[in-house]
């Protein structure tokens, strides 16, 4: 996805039913996750019994110091997830990696796309 497409579609929001909303939802994923990691992100996934994918994000101040950078990561994660969520039947939690704050938007999009594909394959095997 190009940056201009990102800017044009970033006004659309992620619907409430596509988000992990409470601690129990996050704990479900953290209990027995399927993992995918690189320098930019660690993404945890767990198949769900719903007919849709859901996204949660946990970007800590320890990893990403500035609120501006954390908000940028959230926007990019939501947009990447929004463009691929119809393909999945799992809950995902995105965590910040060591190099995420200094990466370009395109690097982050590419990284997340690879994570979605890897985790989808792993979740289908379960």
Q: Residue 8 falls within a domain, yes or no?
A: no
* Per-residue model confidence (pLDDT) at position 86: 76
State the 10-residue block means of pLDDT for the chain, 126 residues long. 51 84 95 95 93 92 94 95 85 94 94 93 86
Q: Residue 74 falls within a domain, yes or no?
A: yes
> 3-state class of 2 per DSSP?
coil
Number of domains in the chain: 1
Q: Give the separation between CA 65 and CA 1, rounded to whole angstroms.
A: 27
Q: Residue 21 falls within a domain, yes or no?
A: yes
Q: Give the separation between CA 56 and CA 50, rounded to whole angstroms.
A: 15
Q: What is the CATH number of the domain that holds 81?
A: 3.30.230.10
Average pLDDT value over all residues in the chain: 89
Conformation bin of residue 125: beta by default, left when phi > 0, alpha when psi is -120 to 50: alpha
Q: Residue 97 falls within a domain, yes or no?
A: yes
Structure pTM? 0.86
Domain encompassing residue 44 = 15-125
> Residue 30: CA atoms inside 13 Å, Cβ hemisphere, count?
12
């Amino acid at each position: 996805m190009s940056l201009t497409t990102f800017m044009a579609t970033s006004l659309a929001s992620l619907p409430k039913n596509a988000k992990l909303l409470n601690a129990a939802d996050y704990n479900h994923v953290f209990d027995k996750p399927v993992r995918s990691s690189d320098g930019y992100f660690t993404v945890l996934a767990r198949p769900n019994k719903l007919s849709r994918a859901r996204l949660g994000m946990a970007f800590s101040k320890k990893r990403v110091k500035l609120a501006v950078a954390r908000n940028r990561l959230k926007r990019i994660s939501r947009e990447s997830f929004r463009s691929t969520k119809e393909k999945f039947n799992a809950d995902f939690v995105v965590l910040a990696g060591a190099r995420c704050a200094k990466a370009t938007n395109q690097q982050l999009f590419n990284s997340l796309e690879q994570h979605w594909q890897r985790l989808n394959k792993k979740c289908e095997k379960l």
